[in-house]
Every structure is written in C-alpha cells, then in structure tokens.
A and B are shown apart, each in its own frame.
Chain A
C-alpha cells in the first residue's frame, strides 16, 4: 500500500499540485512567493521526480530559507504528499476571506477582545482572581488612568507613543556608569588636575579655577525577550506595544518573541509606520500562543543571538510569567550562560503585580538566583515606575 497521497480525478495535474503544495507551505508560515512555485517546477524537472526522496530534497532546497524551515519541511512534505494514500480533494485552497489588509491588530480583526480567554493568565484557578480585567487586585500605581488598563486595549497609535516615551525614559535610566576614565565636566565628582595645572599657567602658576571631571554615561543596549505563550496572552499586547515603543525610541535595541520557539522581531518592529509594525509583529505573534518553553527558548537565545548581540553593556529584559513546561534547570542554565556574557538580566513578571504573588512556579524559582532584578510589570504605568529602580542597577 502506497503512502503517497492520491489526488482527486478532477484535479488539473502536476502543475496545480505543486502550486497547491507551495500554497500549503505558505499557509504553514513559510514565506514563499509566486516565483518559488516556478522554481519548484523547474527543480522537479531536473531530478527524477518519480522518486519521493529526490523530489523531497529538490523541493527542500528551493522552498526553505533557514534552518528552522528546513527542519519543519519534512513534516509539511509528508502531510501533503505522503498522506497514507488518502485522497486529497482540493489541491488549491480557496483564498481565505478572513484576512483583511487594513486591519492592524488581531484584536481588531476578530472584533473581539483577546482577553476573552483571560483566564489563562490566572496565577490560581479560583474564580474572580482570574478575571481578565484584574483591577483592584493590582498594586496601585500613580500613573494616569489611561495607562491603568490591563495591557490589552493598548495597541493604539497614541499608546505606542506613550510606550515609546516610557521606553525612552527606561533607556535613559539604564545608563552604564562603569567607564574607567573620567572626562572633563562642569559638575564632576573629582578635580581635573591636568586641566587645573594647564590653566594655572595663565595665572602665574596659581590655580584660581578648579576644574572637574566625571565618569561619562554610556548607553546600554537593551535586549528584550517577550513571552507570548498562552498564559501570557492577556499581557502580550502591552508588552508588544512596549517593545514597539522601545525599538522606535532606541535604535540599538533588540527584541525577540518566544513561546515554544524563539523569533527575532527587531526587523518587523523597525517598520516606519508604527501601526504597520504592530501589525507585522502581531502576525508573527499570532502564529504562536499555546505552550511555553522558556528554558529552551532562552537557551537558544544564549547559544545563538546572544553571541552576536549581547555584551557587557547589554541589559536583557525578560518579560514572562515563568510558567514553563520544560524542566526548570534549563532556565537556570540558560540564564547562567547569558550572565557569563557580562550583561544584566532583568525579569519583568506580570504576575508579580498581584497582591499575594510568590514566585512558586518552578521555572521562576530556578531563575531567581541569576537575576539582577525581578520586578512586576503588567501595565505601562508599572513599566514607567521601573525607571527609578533600574537607574540604581
């Protein structure tokens, strides 16, 4: 019995099947254009397309573009071409009508609040505490009412601007003061003897003016990693707005999303149009949800991107609730590895804003010893309040 998918008799032929396969890949998140279908056909003509393995290799070379895609390709190939002899009714999927170009966020697209499933964020499963709005249980903040909303209605241009402002202030608070050399400054903490001596020559060797010097502030590079797993979905929007603001305010910043995989979103968020950037990121974020593998994601970050983007002047912000499906030792190991690069690690946990929160989640407990700071953050106001605390790091 052949494992190969049978195609319906009315299906127009190999060309349509390959086009259908490309559409199948596209539906599963591979970025393929029309030209790829053409190249795929040309490639199949070059190999013995009768042999499934040859076709698989040829299509893999054409249709994948990174390691991640190459790893997923086998499953996608099997699900289309090797469907245990089942008959595939329709090779070309009808264009879906649900996606609209002018909708910027998933929330608007559904016309329904993402927080409808807000229970997932609950630290405990008792009724009430898990209420998606959550006000009253949150520790009070002094920010304007606008920013008190629990992070879901946030992705509006005005609020991105707000987030941008917060991000800019946090960026400014995170100055690195560890420079070894001091430079001349009006209000320095030490006397600048060389300058004093030089100037004293003008007054016959009498040091009349005392000049000062201080350690210059160096900018820190902020690297933000945001958890967008199911349990974080209520908070995801605010953090995403924060990330958008951060990347707009600080050209050196870097941002990632993770749930069960790690995705770099810096490029998407650098879009000139703020709302389009959010839209692009939402598309990337929407594909996820579901499980969270914090440990493996952080480990992957430490093993790959961190080697290039994280150094002693970096601050790594992790925005996550710490609910991990993987063994907690992995988080500890990843953070330890990250710390070895000399960076500061700050964990912002939305659940910490709840009144009786204790970091009992295994992952969170394992992470604690490796953190420079562990703070609450579930509204923009919280993020804004971090400014002073971060300045003292």
Chain B
C-alpha cells in the first residue's frame, strides 16, 4: 500500500489528510515506529487515529494523558477489592496461603489499562496516546521504555511481551517541551491548519448536505477569520460546528442576515476577548470578502 492508497482509504472514511501526513503515516505503518503529531488544538490530530483504526478495521485504544497520570492508570492495576473478597472467601474455605496467593495474582485479577491492553491484543490495534505534553516527564520516560521494548514487567506475574505491535500515535499541543529521547524514537509531523482546498474537501466529506456556494463562503470566512488576531484560532471542528449551525438556521448565504451570522459566531470564537474583538463590522467585512 503506497501513501496515495492510504490517503484515498482515509478519504473514504471521511478524513482528508495532507500529503505530508499521509507519507508520515505510511512510514509509521511500514517501519513500525510511533508517529508524533503536533499542532494547534482542533486540527484533527486525534481524529486521524480514529480514522486509521476504521481503515485498518482494528480497535482504537486511547490513553488520555493528564498531569499526575501514573503507571496504575496507564498500564495495569490489581483489582484490590476482588482480591480482598477472595482472601475472605478462601479463609472460610480453609485454603492455604500459597494457593490463595497464586490465585489472586493471576490474569483474572489484573485490570488492564490502555498500555497493557494495547500490547495484548490479537490483531494490532491503534494506540492513541493523546496530549502527551500534559503528562509528567516521569511518565514520558516510562512510556519510552514501553515504546521501545513493547513489554511490561509485572513483579507478581512476570514479563508480558507484546503479542502484536500496536500502531502508536502520539499527539501533543506543544505546550511543553517533550524530551529529545521521545522525539528521536518517533516519526514527526506538524499538523497545520488546512489550506482552503483541503478544508473545503473536509467540509464536503463531513457535511455533504451543505451547498457548494455556502460551503465556499463558510471556508472563505473561516480562513479569513484565522488571519485575525485571535487568542484561540478556530480549528476544523469549529468550522464544522459553524457549518452545522448555519444549516440548522437555514441560511443560504452568509451576507443575508448579519445579526444571525454574528450570533452563530459563538461556534467559532471561544473566548470573551475574541468575541469582543470580532465586532459585527469586522464580521461584515470578512463575510463580504468571503462572498
């Protein structure tokens, strides 16, 4: 499968990937390396993993990172409640300590968290490690170990080696510097805001019911809006919301009703200062240019 085929396959599932992204994804698949995606919020980093799992027809296992994420939540944890109950029951039945111990430290009592689940699947799943920059640096180091060996050591149980190697996709919003070691192990692509043609294709794929004329206007409007000085630049998700809002209100042309257009901007502008900055006059100007 060449990257062009992959791109087409992704497009069938409704994801319009840039050539850069398609090549990087293809390399990640064929070289078996993790792919690190960086970019602003709302450019479709998470979505690519979801689409890829649909294309490959495998499970998507997602690990959402956050500050304070630790091994217990990311890899595995023993089911303590069940172990306690078992020990209670065993005491009444008169089982010996050794037997009980063997039983409560078996796979049945192990709660698989995303990383362990990802390496024990029969067919290679897509492992999405979302917003890795939010996790602590210690966790990053731990993750490195798993990404290089694809095995997990559980002291009570021994080492679990990967049955299949998952397709790993990491995303980052670039708020924290990731370590060089992690970057070196990954292929890297910066996902930028899409250009006009790409975004139009995305809108067509996601909201086929939008008419061509309005779709052109919507994309033109959003592209122009991104050039304004905004605190939070609207992403693709916002564009789709915006289109859905306009469709819901039955608007056929952006310049028809300035008041309604202004009220739909809540789907694009997500901070108070941005909303204050884009006054009706500004909206009118942008809409005029887009039309």
Contacts and interface: CB of A to CB of B under 8 A. Distances in A.
B23 A47 contact: yes
Contacts of A61: 20, 23-24, 27-28, 35, 187-189
B190 A67 contact: yes
Contact of A65 (B3, B175, B184): B184
Interface string A25-50: 00000010101100100110011100
Contacts of B177: 264, 267
B103 interface: no
B23 A304 contact: no
A46 B30 contact: yes
Contacts of A187: none
A299 B180 CA distance: 25
A307 interface: yes
A66 B188 contact: yes
Contacts of A47: 2-3, 23, 26-27
Nearest to A36: B184
Contact of B175 (A62, A71, A304): A304
B38 A67 contact: yes
A54 interface: yes
A231 B36 CA distance: 38
A33 B189 CA distance: 19
Nearest to A43: B27
Contacts of B188: 61, 64-66, 70
Contact of B187 (A33, A62, A67): A62
B184 A33 contact: yes
A57 interface: yes
Given A39-B31, A46-B30, A67 B174 contact: yes
B176 interface: yes
Contacts of A60: 20, 24, 189
A58 interface: yes
B224 interface: no
Main secondary structure of the interface of A (DSSP, over half): helix
Interface residues of B, number: 28
Interface of A: 31, 33, 35-36, 39, 42-43, 46-48, 53-54, 57-58, 60-62, 64-67, 70-71, 264, 267, 304, 307-308
B211 interface: no
A304 B174 contact: yes
B19 interface: yes
Interface string B69-107: 000000000000000000000000000000000000000
Interface of B: 2-3, 19-20, 23-24, 26-28, 30-31, 33, 35-36, 38, 174-178, 180, 183-184, 186-190
A319 B161 CA distance: 52
Contacts of B187: 61-62
Contacts of B23: 47, 54, 57-58, 61
Contacts of B31: 39, 42-43, 46
Contact of B38 (A35, A46, A66, A308): A66
14 contacts: A33-B184, A36-B184, A39-B33, A46-B26, A48-B2, A57-B19, A57-B24, A58-B23, A60-B20, A61-B23, A61-B189, A65-B183, A65-B188, A304-B175
A264 B176 CA distance: 10
Nearest to A267: B177
A308 B176 contact: yes
A31 B180 contact: yes
B27 A46 contact: yes
B175 to A, nearest CB: 5
A304 B174 CA distance: 8
A-B pairs, 5 with minimum CB distance: A65-B183, A61-B24, A57-B23, A61-B187, A70-B190
Contacts of B174: 66-67, 304
B32 to A, nearest CB: 10
A64 B174 CA distance: 15
A67 B177 CA distance: 11
Contact of B27 (A31, A36, A62, A65): A62
Contacts of B19: 53, 57
A65 B180 contact: yes
Contacts of A31: 180, 184
Q: Considering residues A46, A64, A65, A304, which has the most beta carbons from chain B within 10 angstroms of its beta carbon? A: A65
Contacts of B189: 60-61, 70
B279 to A, nearest CB: 19
Contacts of A54: 3, 23
Nearest to B3: A47
A259 B216 CA distance: 41
A39 B185 CA distance: 10
Contacts of B180: 31, 65
Contacts of A308: 175-176
A54 B20 CA distance: 9
A64 B24 CA distance: 11
A141 to B, nearest CB: 37
A65 B37 CA distance: 10
Contacts of B190: 67, 70-71
A314 to B, nearest CB: 16
A58 B184 contact: no
A64 B30 CA distance: 18
A1 B187 CA distance: 33
Contacts of B24: 57, 60-61
A308 B20 CA distance: 29
Nearest to A266: B177
Contacts of A39: 31, 33
Given A31-B184, A57-B19, A304-B175, 14 more contacts: A39-B33, A47-B2, A47-B27, A57-B24, A58-B23, A61-B27, A61-B188, A62-B27, A66-B178, A70-B188, A70-B189, A264-B177, A267-B177, A307-B175
Contacts of B36: 65
Contacts of A58: 23, 27
A66 B179 CA distance: 11
